[in-house]
Copies of this chain bind each other. A is one copy, B any other.
Amino acid sequence: MMMTLYNNPSRNQWASLAKRPELELEYLGSTVKNILARVKKSGDQALKDFAGQYDKVLLENLQVSEKEFQNAITSLDPKLKVTIQMAFQNIYKFHYAQQTPFLEVETMPGVVCQRKAVAIEKVGIYIPGGSAPLFSTVLMLGVPAKIAGCREIILCTPPSGNGEINPAILFTANLVGITKIFKVGGAQAIAAMTYGTDSIPSVNKIFGPGNQYVTKAKQLVAMEGMAIDMPAGPSEVLIFADDQADPDFISADLLSQAEHGEDSQVVLVTTSTSLPEKVNKAIELQLAQLPRKVIAEHSLRNSRCLVFGSVNESFEFINEYAPEHLIINCAEADSKVDKVINAGSIFLGALTPEAAGDYASGTNHTLPTNGFAKAYSGVSLSSFQKFITVQEMSKEGLMRLGPVVETMAEAENLIGHKNAISIRLKKIHPDSE
C-alpha cells in the first residue's frame, strides 16, 4: 500500500488532511536576493556570469538569433510539429472565446459608465529547462498573451550545456509569434525581466513555473511591486472516483501527476471501500514501467486516499482541499460539477485524464496549487489584460448625480470632493444658488 488510507476521517482532521507539504523557501532568501542584486547592478554581464556558473556555458549573445530559430524549425520532428499545431489550435480557440466584450451602461440618465479590456503592454514568460522541455507552457502562456495583444512578449529559458535552447521550445515560440527569446534561467531571469538589462527589457508582469529559486525570486520581486501570474506550489491532482471507476485509469492519472516532482501531491477521494486496494495494485504494476519511477514513488509517499460515506461529504472535503486538478471519474460525472466550489480545472468522466488539459484540450494548465483555488483562478486571457473603467456625465447627468455626490462627500467630511461638483453645477446653472 503506497498511499496512506484514511477511512471516514472526522471533520476535525480535514484541515490537516488538506494540508500540503510546506514549501521551505526562506533558506533561499539570501542566495536569491544576491542574484537579484547582481543582475540589478551588472545587467547582461551578471547574466553571462551566471550562465557560466549555473548552466556551464559561455554565452556571447543572450538573445536567440534568427538562425537558431530557423535551425529549430527545420530540425524538429515533423510529427511533433503537427501535434503542437493541433494543440495550438485548441488552446487558441478556447482562449480567444474568453474575450470580455466592451461594456457600456447608462446607470442613470446622462451618466454613462464603460469598462474595457486593454492588454498589459509588456509581459515576460519564464520556461524552465531541465529534463522536461516545457514547450506546452510556451503555448499556455504565449497564446493568451498574443490574443490579448500585448505589445512586447519576451521569453526567458535556460540554455543547455552547449548554449542551445530545445528546438521544440523555439518552434512553439515561433508558432505563437514570440520572437524575443533569451538564454537566461533561474532567479536571474526573473531579475532581468524585473529590472531590465541592455539586452532584456523590463516587463509589467511575469508568468511561468520554475524551481524553488525561480519561485522565491518571483515572491521577492512581487514584494517590490512586480505583478506575477500567481503564487506557486508543487503540482497536485485530486481524483474523485466511485465503484464504477477503472482502477487502471485512476492509477495512470495518479502516476502522471506523481512523476512531475518529488513534492507533487496526489489524492484519491472515493465512496468505494473496495477501490483503494485495486488502485494500489494497479499502481504497483504501472509504476514498475515508469521511467520517472523514483520520483513518482517518492511523491506517492506524501499522498493520501480518503474514503467517505457519501458523495456530498466527499465534495465537502474536496472543496476544503481546493485541488489544482480535479478528476471526477464516476457515474454521472456531469452532475457533480456544481458541487465544486474550489478547484483550478476539472476533468470529467472516465475518458478525460488530466494529461488532456496539461497539453491540448484547450484549457490552460497554469493553475492555482496549494489551496489557492479558494481565491485564485488559473491563467486565462484576462491574466494578460487590465480592465479600465470610463465614465462621462452630460449636463443632465451632472444635475441628477451631482447632488447625490455632494451629500455623500459632505457626510464623509470631504468638502473638496463636494466642491468639484458644486463648482460645476454653479457654472452650468449660475442661478441655482
Q: Which residues of A contact B (CB under 8 A)?
A: 77, 79-80, 83-84, 86-87, 89-90, 93-94, 97-98, 100, 103, 105, 107-108, 111, 113, 115, 118, 120-121, 131-136, 168, 204-205, 219, 223, 225, 227, 231, 246, 248-249, 252-253, 255-260, 286, 289-292, 296, 319, 333-334, 337, 340-364, 370-378, 380, 382, 385-395, 397-398, 401-405, 407-409, 411-421, 423-424, 427-428
Of B79, B105, B136, the contact of A93 (CB 8 Å cutoff): B105
CA distance A401 to B362 in the complex (A): 11
Q: Are A225 and B372 in contact (CB under 8 A)?
A: yes
Q: How far is the CB of A223 from chain B (nearest CB, A)?
A: 7
Max chain B C-beta neighbours (<10 A), residue from A341, A403, A407: A407
Set of chain B residues within 8 Å of A418, measured between Cβ atoms: 355
Q: How far is the CB of A415 from chain B (nearest CB, A)?
A: 5
Q: Are B391 and A424 in contact (CB under 8 A)?
A: no
Max chain B C-beta neighbours (<10 A), residue from A120, A260, A333, A415: A415
Q: Are A416 and B354 in contact (CB under 8 A)?
A: no
CA distance A354 to B424 in the complex (A): 12
CA distance A374 to B219 in the complex (A): 19
Q: How far is the CB of A106 from chain B (nearest CB, A)?
A: 9
Q: Are B227 and A427 in contact (CB under 8 A)?
A: no
Query: Could you write out 28 A-B pairs with CB less than 8 Å apart?
Result: A80-B407, A89-B108, A111-B362, A121-B374, A133-B411, A204-B374, A223-B223, A227-B376, A248-B427, A249-B424, A252-B424, A253-B420, A256-B417, A256-B420, A292-B413, A296-B416, A337-B390, A347-B392, A348-B391, A351-B393, A351-B397, A351-B424, A355-B420, A356-B393, A356-B401, A357-B391, A359-B405, A363-B389
Q: Are B380 and A115 in contact (CB under 8 A)?
A: yes
Q: How far is the CB of A172 from chain B (nearest CB, A)?
A: 10
Closest 4 CB pairs of A and B: A227-B375, A107-B362, A353-B420, A259-B416
Q: Are B414 and A259 in contact (CB under 8 A)?
A: yes
CA distance A415 to B162 in the complex (A): 26
Closest residue of chain B to A282 (Cβ to Cβ) is B423
